[in-house]
Amino acid sequence: MVMPLVVAPHPELAPWIYHILVMPLDGCLSRLPSALSPGLLLFARGGAVQPLADGSCRAVPRASLTGPYLGPRESRAALGSVFLSVMFRPGVMAEALGPGVGELRDRIVPLDEVLPPLLVRQMLETVDASDSPADWVASVQGLLRRCLRPRRDPARLADLLGASTHLFSPAGQIAAHLGIGLRQLERRVAHGYGANLRELRRVARFGFSLARLQAQPPRRGELTRIAQDFGYYDQAHMDRDYRDMAGASPGELLRAVADGAPGYWWYRLGQRDFRDLFLPDDVDSVQAGLFSPA
C-alpha cells in the first residue's frame, strides 16, 4: 500500500474528527504551525523527538494526545518512522473524550493517561502485529469508537465557530447570540478550544488565510490584498502573526515550501487532502461568513 494515505473517518466518528493521515517520515524534520485542533498521534513505526530550548531533546510518546498549540513547534522523526495523525474538529474534543482542551494546551500527553490504558495497549498490540496501514487506521478508529461519548452533541461546543458571522463581533454580542452570559462564553471558549476569544480569533484568521495560500500561491504583490481579505490591518500585521504562529512570514513560508525545504512537507499536501485533514467540510461558507464584508 502506497503512503502517504488520507483516510475518511468512520461515519460514527465523522462529526468529531477530520480525515486520518498515515505518513512516512523516515528521519524527517517537521515544522508545524499553530493549530486549534487537538489530535491523536501514533507512531506505527519508529518515533520522534522534540528539541528543547536548552539544546536537549525529549522523546515524543509513541501514542499521545496533543493539545492546541498557539505557536510553532518542531520534531524530528527517527529513520523508518511512520506516523498516524487524527485531528479533532475544533471545539469538540472536550465533548468527545472528557478532558478540557485547556488542560492540554501546548502539551503532548501519553494517550494512556487520557484513555483506558488496557484499550491503548490492545490498540498498540494490533498495530505491532500488522504491516497494513489499513489495519492501523482501523485499530485507532476502533479505540476512538469505544471511548467517545455518543450521547453528547458534537455541535454544542463547536457552535461558536458555527456562528461564523459573529466570531469577530464584540464578546457581549456573541454571548447574546448564543443565549449565554459573558462569563459562560469565556468558560466555554477556554474549555472547548484551549484559548481565549482573542486567541481564537487570531488563530482562525491565521488558519483560514494559510489555507488560502496553500490552495493558490499568490502572485507578486497579492499578499497585501490577501491580508486585507482575512481581516489583517495590513501585510505587516499578517507577517507578525505568521512569525508568531508558523515561525516565518507568509513570503518566507511560501519560498521554503517551493524550495522543498526540510520540515515543510505538510504544506505540500494536495489541496483536497489539506482540506480533508485540517478544515471544516463547509470551509468556503464558513470562510465567507467570517471574512466577507457585511
pLDDT digits (tens, 9 = 90+) for 29-71: 899 899 888 899 999 999 999 988 888 899 999 999 998 888 9
CATH code of domain 5-147: 2.60.120
Average pLDDT of span 259-280: 81
Average pLDDT of span 250-276: 85
Least reliable range by pLDDT among 6-10, 95-99, 120-124: 95-99
Q: What is the DSSP letter of 120?
A: H
Q: Contact at 8 Å (CB) between 179 and 193?
A: no
By residue count, the chain amounts to 294
- Give yes or no for residue 158 having a pLDDT over 60: no
pLDDT tens string 201-225 = 898 899 888 888 887 778 888 889 9
| Apex 275 CA angle, 272 and 281, nearest 5 | 115
Q: How far apart are the first and last CA of the chain?
A: 48
Fold match flag (5-147 vs 159-291)? no
Q: Where are the domains of the chain?
A: 5-147, 159-291
Average pLDDT of span 11-25: 91
Residue 62's identity, in one-letter code, is R
Domain 159-291 is found in CATH 1.10.10.60:
yes
For the whole prediction, is pTM greater than 0.85? yes
Provide CB contacts within 8 A for 180, sequence distance 6+.
Answer: 188
